[in-house]
Amino acid sequence: MSTMWQGCLADTDYFEMRSSTGHDYGIWVTRPPGYDPAAAPAPVVYVLDGNWTVGMTAPLVVTQRDPMQQLRPYVQVSVGYAGAEAHEWDRLRNRDLVPPGEPIATEFVDAVEIGLRTGAMTREQADAYLAELRNPRADAFLSFLTTELHPRIERDHGTAASGHGLFGYSYGGLFSLYAWLTGSTLFESIGAGSPGVLDENSQVFALLEKLGDDLPATELHLTVNDRELLGDLAVYQNLTKNTATVLHRLRAGGAAVTSAVLRETHVTGLQASFLSYLRTCRAQRVPT
């Protein structure tokens, strides 16, 4: 990386990679302080929506040296979009992070229309944004992460063979739930912040029904924000309501799931949710 970026994202490398489906991704690899893969290889924590999240999450790698909250070492790999498409990450994520067959909630369309009326996007942008939701491919993106990107990270950065994590927020949180429910074996723990379960007919519920009592052993951490629940935007009210339903069903089935309600909005909750995941799922284990 350039000298300027190294000042902001220390110990971070960047590269671009084309998937087997022909999509270009930007990858930021942030190592923990003093990382020596030959002496002590660390597992990977994959963080989604890299174009947005890397600046708020990658610097937190220094918390691995915080004497007041002992975290297990990890290498952070932030996954976003590259090249000319990088500035359209908020549209492209709809394609990659939403499960196949996921319904488009009416409240979500209404929220997009609000953005149109307030000038946050043009009609062309709004139409393109919603178009990506008509044929989403979270299955293809999960395959890219686990069978294409991870082997390259393991080879080039000397990471551990196990103990890996995944964190996503909003639609990234929906993807995290999808990865958990489909039984991906790469991850030891998964964090889903304010997961975008916006419709009561979400594929999340269909997958839960399919699993029955045979729930994954992978540790799952869910967070939502109180301002989502108590605010006046229906799309966020539905998100918290449906996430609570998912949580109750998982606990009733005996799943390894933890949760937290954070004092944030949907936008400001990203970093707090990531920290909640780290503190809950990546705390230093005391030998027994």
Strand arrangement, sheet containing 75-81: 12-18, 24-30, 75-81, 44-47, 164-169, 187-193, 219-225, 257-262
CB count in 10 Å sphere of residue 156:
11
Q: What are phi and psi of 40, to 5 degrees?
A: -150, 85
Return per-residue pLDDT of the chain as tens, 288 residues: 555 565 678 899 999 999 999 999 999 999 998 899 999 999 999 999 999 999 999 999 999 888 998 899 999 999 999 988 899 999 999 999 999 999 998 888 888 888 888 888 888 888 888 888 999 999 999 999 999 999 999 999 999 999 999 999 999 999 999 999 999 999 999 999 999 999 999 999 999 999 998 999 999 999 999 999 999 999 999 999 999 999 999 999 999 899 999 999 999 999 999 999 999 999 987 655
Tallying the residues shown for the chain, one arrives at 288
The CATH class for the domain spanning 3-99+137-281 reads alpha beta
Task: List the domain boundaries for the chain.
Answer: 3-99+137-281
What pTM, to 2 d.p., does this model score?
Answer: 0.94
Residue 84 Ramachandran class (φ > 0 left, ψ -120 to 50 alpha, else beta):
alpha
Closest CA to 71 of 194, 169, 163, 162: 163
**Amino acid, res. 146:** T
